[in-house]
Amino acid sequence: MSRIDELIQQYCPDGVPFRTLGQSVLRNLGGGTPSRSQASFWDGDIPWASVGDITSSEISIDSTRQFISQEGLKNCSTNLIPRGHVVVAVKIKPGAMRVVETPIAINQDIRALELRDDLDPYFLTYYFATLNVLGNGTIVQGITNSTLEKILTPVPPIEVQREIVDILDRFTQLEAELESELEARRKQYEHYRGTILAFADETVGTEWVTIGDVCSTFSGDFVKRTKQDDSFEFPVYNGGSRPTGFYSDFNSPANSIAISARGSIGFVNWVETKFWAGNSCHVVVPTDERLSNRFLFHYLKFHEPDLYALRAVGSIPALNLKPLLAFRVPLPDMHHQNHIVETLDYFDSLINDISVGLPAEIEARRKQYEYYRDRLLTFKVLDVA
């Protein structure tokens, strides 16, 4: 029997009482936004939270993206929320909750709750992460304050709550450490990739060519959404990393490079299967046997900012085919290309492939955390107050 099971048996063998969130709240505070036309209301020393600040994977909040001044605080309907309260979104992503670690102001899409002593704010926040709070609205999803307060929450003995929080904190801390290490490795990879792909005009033995010289390059074709269906075989790409749908035909071979011409202009994607290239991307296929397809991918991926700089700026910015064909790439010997491909593919898998390395460990820890979180926060209902 686990420690939590022992505590449940000790304190509430017949089940855990539930009550509405409103019955656990001593104060329910709203927020507001200072006038944007008054510069003196902004860029002060008071953290000011909007929904985007409370939708991260963190359990608490101690910093925000924007700050307001004392004058701004006094001249709008926001409130300064003390440490220990919880803040919860009622619009955009209703139900997103964080524990306040340092006093913050909030906007009108957030409520701040002061809880009774018998409900731990961290326990409540972990519990809310298991809920799917459905909002109303066709453009912006939202719930009313009264709907928020009607949400039922378990209230096990405070000893049980704190034990659960301690267990889940250890899981989240481990995941944070792994994420930090992964980020460090990602930066290391970016630095190494820049070094290994640093070719100069004077590099001995390296020829320079244009994409038009050594590749077959074409723009994709539009296909109607009504003709796309998930039951079809071939993914449709329009320049992003994920398909926008599936189609019954393909116009691009497997292992091709697709470059976004609109939207995320210059984004370079490697597509392993045959696919349909939409009209928002270009497809690049080497035709010169001296050029490795995968080497070209890594080189272009590293130079995404340079591809973006080639865009035509107009009413709808776009990367046209002509400047792409003129883009210069190095042509080292094939042995050198294969060495670069082998090295960068290895590093890339270590930081991006969820089946190996740190990403795999993080994914496993996340699933383990979610399993134990759901198990620890599922209670037999004793009664509803």
What's the pLDDT tens digit per position in 299-351? 999 999 999 999 998 778 999 999 999 999 999 989 989 999 998 888 887 77
Task: Record the tokens describing residue 26, joined without a space.
Answer: 């001593």
Task: Out of 203-207, 261-265, 350-354, give the one with best mean pLDDT.
Answer: 261-265
CB neighbours of residue 161 within 10 Å:
22
Q: What is the pLDDT of residue 359?
A: 67
Task: Out of 167-171, 332-336, 375-379, give the one with best mean pLDDT.
Answer: 332-336
Q: In this model, does residue 204 exceed pLDDT 60?
A: no
Q: What is the pLDDT of residue 315?
A: 75
Q: What is the pLDDT of residue 385?
A: 56
Give me the domain span that covers residue 104.
16-155
pLDDT band of residue 283 (cuts 50, 70, 90) is: very high
Instruction: Select from 155, 174, 189 the last residue of a domain.
Output: 155
Domain count, the chain: 2
Q: In this model, does residue 259 exceed pLDDT 60?
A: yes
Residue bearing tokens 């139900």: 95
When pLDDT is averaged across residues 284-298 and rounded to a whole number, the result is 95
Asked if 143 and 260 sit in the same domain, the reply is no
* Dihedral sign computed on CA atoms, order 238, 241, 246, 249: positive
pLDDT (tens digit per residue) in 95-106:
999 999 999 999
Q: Any idea which of 70-74, 118-122, 168-172, 180-184 has the lowest mean pLDDT?
A: 180-184
Q: Are 356 and 350 in contact (CB under 8 A)?
A: yes
Alpha carbon distance 46, 174 (integer Å)? 31
Q: What is the pLDDT of residue 194?
A: 80
When pLDDT is averaged across residues 222-235 and rounded to a whole number, the result is 88
When pLDDT is averaged across residues 147-176 and rounded to a whole number, the result is 88
Task: Record the tokens describing residue 212, joined without a space.
Answer: 């038009």
Alpha carbon distance 264, 244 (integer Å)? 14
Q: Give me the percent of the chain exceeding a pLDDT of 90.
A: 60
What's this model's pTM, rounded to 2 decimal places? 0.60
Asked if 108 and 204 sit in the same domain, the reply is no
pLDDT band of residue 75 (cuts 50, 70, 90) is: very high
In a domain, 364, yes or no: no
When pLDDT is averaged across residues 115-125 and rounded to a whole number, the result is 96
Higher pLDDT, 73 or 184: 73
When pLDDT is averaged across residues 144-169 and rounded to a whole number, the result is 91
Q: What is the pLDDT of residue 239?
A: 76
What backbone phi and psi angles, to 5 degrees, belong to 350? -65, -30
Q: In this model, does residue 1 exceed pLDDT 50?
A: no
Asked if 105 and 224 sit in the same domain, the reply is no
Q: What is the pLDDT of residue 177?
A: 74
In a domain, 315, yes or no: yes
For all residues of the chain together, what is the average pLDDT? Answer: 87
**Burial of 213 from C-beta contacts in 10 A (0-12 / 13-18 / 19+):** middle
Alpha helices in the chain (DSSP H): 3-11, 70-74, 121-128, 145-149, 158-196, 211-214, 293-302, 304-309, 321-325, 334-352, 357-376
Alpha carbon distance 256, 77 (integer Å)? 55
Asked if 124 and 205 sit in the same domain, the reply is no
Q: What is the pLDDT of residue 276?
A: 94
CA angle 124, 126, 131 (to 5 degrees): 90
Q: Shortest CA distance to 223 belongs to which of 267, 277, 268?
A: 277
Q: In this model, does residue 8 exceed pLDDT 80?
A: no
Alpha carbon distance 132, 113 (integer Å)? 19
In a domain, 79, yes or no: yes
In a domain, 172, yes or no: no
Instruction: Select from 98, 124, 155 the last residue of a domain.
Output: 155
CA angle 291, 293, 299 (to 5 degrees): 85
In a domain, 375, yes or no: no
Asked if 30 and 125 sit in the same domain, the reply is yes
In a domain, 68, yes or no: yes
Q: Are 358 and 366 in contact (CB under 8 A)?
A: no
Q: Shortest CA distance to 67 belongs to which of 89, 52, 98, 45?
A: 45
In a domain, 385, yes or no: no
* Dihedral sign computed on CA atoms, order 281, 282, 285, 291: negative
Q: Are 237 and 281 in contact (CB under 8 A)?
A: yes
CA 198 → CA 202, 332, 378, distances in Å?
11, 12, 55
- For the domain that residue 59 is a member of, what is the CATH number? 3.90.220.20
- 302-336 burial code (b ≥16 CB/10 A, e <16): bbbeebeeebeeeeeebbebeebeebebbbbeeeb
Alpha carbon distance 341, 295 (integer Å)? 6
Q: What is the pLDDT of residue 274?
A: 95
Q: Are 155 and 119 in contact (CB under 8 A)?
A: yes
Asked if 137 and 31 sit in the same domain, the reply is yes
pLDDT band of residue 200 (cuts 50, 70, 90) is: low
Q: What is the pLDDT of residue 196?
A: 80
Q: Give me the percent of the chain exceeding a pLDDT of 70.
A: 91
